[in-house]
Structures are given as structure tokens and as C-alpha cells.
């Protein structure tokens, strides 16, 4: 099955094989070495200039994101959340669940955020951090992280970036941020079950003094103990292998591969008269959102393609009924995307 959903993705035989490396106690030095290797490779891949530490935990991307969101404020602080899609709204929901003071800068789901509104929100005296989604998977929109980072720095606030679907798919300069959240099973091409936060070293000491709002999902807990709870040991083997594979390919080349696949698909969609949800300048490299053709039901499109070996993804939130999404993440070849376009022709012609 070719997975054209935005994670979990198809992975290489090399990553799958790593699952079988055997049983291992997480309290033994061998797991310590494995974790050290994952952390080092994450930093080599995404923070090569140094100055960051990698906190790795078991769970999906949401686990790492919730740990970051609930660890970033002092008892008196406020979080500004930039929300122009489901995942920005989810960050606000995390802040609400933890009863953290927060201001949501809501925006159109098919447009970049209003930076003036972000700046106005940042000027409140109790704001300590701003959170933004790098790649809004809802529509495939790439948010202007650098601009939000510039505003955050100008106002002396921390920048927290959800790059769960962005890292290794679209360029991100972590220097613009203070906390960057990622996951194993999207453009990094590992398996689901591990996620991480890259934290600026100069910031971590401050976070250690803040209240722990969750026993399990606290960055301070993981920073102090490294392996406080039972980790997904075999998934960690696979993540280490996936990172090794990423470094072999090169992060820039991986991003270029995503861009080339997206271009191929988009040229094919255009030839077939499909309509894009976003204008070209807002589109990420790894997912394309399209309006459902008139009279086309998503379920028939999905089932027809699945019968031919391809899994696409439905819309989310208020766009659920009107759009469908095609991701191009994972260990896939050009031929897979060409075959997909052929299958799409068959299904649309029915």
C-alpha cells in the first residue's frame, strides 16, 4: 500500500529491519547509547550550528508538543497561539486543557497569519512565548516562521514551533526558534511512537524552574532524567536508523526530493483540471490540498484509489467535506507518484 496520507509514512526496508534488533532493557547502557545516538543525529540534522539540546520521548507528535506547550510558561506567563488551521487550534486547546493563560490569533485557513495582529498580541506584558505551526497540515500551508520569530525576538518572547509535519520536508532554520517539535514518522521516515523537542540550551535552565503541569509530559522531567519512563525501545532503533538514512541522503536533498515529488503531482493535478486550495506561494513541499470535483464524493475517491493500492487523506475541520489531501512523504519513488496519477485517472473517469 502506498501511503499518501501525512504520516505514518512508508519507510525503507532498512528502517523496518531495525525493529528486529532484539530485546533491550532501557536501564542498560546500550539504551543510553542508542538515545545518545538519536539525540546527536537530530542535532546534526536540524541544529548543525549547535546551541540546542534534543529531548526525546515516546508517544506521537502530540505528546512532544503538549510537553513543550505545558513547559514553556512561568506561573504568570501567557502564550500567544497563531492559529490558521486545525493544528494551531490544537495548540490553543492544549493551553486551555492545562489552564494556561493564552491569546489566540485566529486567521483564515488559506492565508498566512496577520503579522500585525500577532505583534499586537505579543505586546501584552504577561506574554512569555508565541507558538506557531511551521507546516499547517490541514491545508499544506507553510507559515512564515522567520517573520513570527523576528517579532518574538523583538518583543523578548520565546518562539515555539510545531514542525511535526515540516522537519525534513520544508526548510526550517531552528535558529529562528527556541523550541521546535518534531516526530519520527513523517518526513524523517521513521515509525510512529517517538517524538522530540529541540530546545535552545540557553532556555532550558529557565524552563526547569517552571511548574511541572504534567507528570509524564514535562520537558524538565526528560531533561533531568533522560529516560524517566519505559520508552518504545524498538521504535527508537528504527528512529536511529531513519536519522542515519536522513543524514546519508542529506537534509537539503531530502527537502529537494519532497519538492520534486510535489511538483510532479501538482503538474499532474493541474493537467487533470483539479483545483488547488492554496496558491502556489503558500504550498509546502509535502502535501497538496485539492477541492473535491463537483459531484465527487470523498469516500468513492478514497475507496477507488485504495482498491488500486493508494491511500489518500480526507479534509479536516471545517474543510472536511470539501477537500481531499495528497501527501508525498515517505520512502517513495517517482514511479509511485506516476502510478498514482494513472490510478486517479481511472477513478475520476468512473
Angle at CA 292, nearest 5°, toward 290 and 296?
155
CB of 186 to ligand PLP, least distance (A): 7
Which residues of the chain form contacts with ligand PLP (CB under 6 A)?
6-7, 60-62, 65, 87, 133, 137, 162, 164-165, 183
CB of 169 to ligand PLP, least distance (A): 10
Compute CA distances 126 → 29, 76, 82, whole Å: 43, 7, 17
Residue number with CB closer to ligand PLP (119 or 178): 178
3-state secondary structure of 243: helix
CB of 37 to ligand PLP, least distance (A): 22
Residue number with CB closer to ligand PLP (85 or 304): 85
Q: How many other C-beta atoms can be found within 10 angstroms of the C-beta atom of residue 48?
A: 10
CB of 73 to ligand PLP, least distance (A): 19
CB of 166 to ligand PLP, least distance (A): 7
Q: What is the residue whose three cell numbers read 482498491? A: 307
Residue number with CB closer to ligand PLP (165 or 288): 165
Cite the DSSP H helix spans in 47-179: 61-71, 86-97, 115-122, 145-154
Residue number with CB closer to ligand PLP (165 or 221): 165
Residue number with CB closer to ligand PLP (182 or 304): 182
Pairing mode, strands 101-106 and 141-142: unpaired
CA dihedral (248, 250, 256, 261) in degrees, to 10, reads 30
Nearest to 105 by CA among 132, 81, 124, 89: 81
Amino acid at each position: 500500500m502506498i501511503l499518501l496520507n501525512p504520516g505514518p509514512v512508508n519507510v525503507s526496508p532498512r528502517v523496518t529491519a531495525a525493529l528486529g534488533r532484539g530485546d533491550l532493557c532501557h536501564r542498560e547502557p546500550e539504551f543510553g547509547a542508542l538515545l545518545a545516538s538519536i539525540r546527536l543525529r537530530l542535532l546534526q540534522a536540524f541544529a548543525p550550528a549547535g546551541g540546542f539540546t534534543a529531548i526525546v520521548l515516546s508517544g506521537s507528535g502530540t505528546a512532544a508538543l503538549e510537553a513543550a506547550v505545558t513547559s514553556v510558561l512561568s506561573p504568570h506567563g501567557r502564550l500567544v497561539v497563531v492559529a490558521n488551521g486545525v493544528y494551531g487550534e490544537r495548540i490553543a486547546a492544549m493551553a486551555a486543557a492545562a489552564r494556561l493563560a493564552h491569546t489566540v490569533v485566529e486567521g483564515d485557513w488559506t492565508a498566512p497569519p496577520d503579522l500585525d495582529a500577532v505583534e499586537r498580541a505579543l505586546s501584552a506584558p504577561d506574554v512569555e512565548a508565541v507558538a506557531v505551526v511551521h507546516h499547517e497540515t490541514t491545508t499544506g500551508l507553510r507559515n512564515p516562521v522567520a517573520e513570527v520569530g523576528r517579532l518574538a525576538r523583538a518583543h523578548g518572547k520565546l518562539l515555539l514551533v510545531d514542525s511535526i509535519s515540516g522537519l525534513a520536508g520544508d526548510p526550517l532554520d531552528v535558529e529562528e526558534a527556541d523550541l521546535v517539535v518534531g516526530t519520527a514518522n513523517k518526513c524523517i521516515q521513521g515509525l510512529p511512537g517517538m517524538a522530540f523537542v529541540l530546545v535552545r540550551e540557553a532556555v532550558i535552565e529557565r524552563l526547569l524552574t517552571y511548574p511541572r503541569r504534567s507528570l509524564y509530559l514535562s520537558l524538565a522531567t526528560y531533561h533531568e532524567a533522560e529516560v524517566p519512563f519505559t520508552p518504545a525501545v524498538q521504535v527508537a532503533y528504527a528512529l536511529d536508523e531513519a536519522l542515519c538514512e536522513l543524514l546519508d541522503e542529506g537534509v537539503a536533498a531530502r527537502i529537494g526530493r519532497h519538492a520534486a515529488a510535489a511538483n510532479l503531482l501538482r503538474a499532474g493535478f493541474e493537467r487533470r483540471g483539479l483545483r488547488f486550495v492554496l496558491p502556489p506561494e503558500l504550498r509546502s513541499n509535502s502535501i497538496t490540498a485539492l477541492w473535491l470535483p463537483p459531484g465527487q464524493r470523498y469516500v468513492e475517491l478514497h475507496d477507488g484509489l485504495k482498491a488500486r493500492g493508494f491511500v489518500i487523506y480526507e479534509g479536516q475541520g471545517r474543510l472536511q467535506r470539501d477537500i481531499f489531501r495528497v501527501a508525498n512523504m515517505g520512502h517513495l519513488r517517482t514511479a509511485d507518484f506516476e502510478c498514482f496519477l494513472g490510478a486517479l485517472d481511472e477513478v475520476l473517469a468512473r
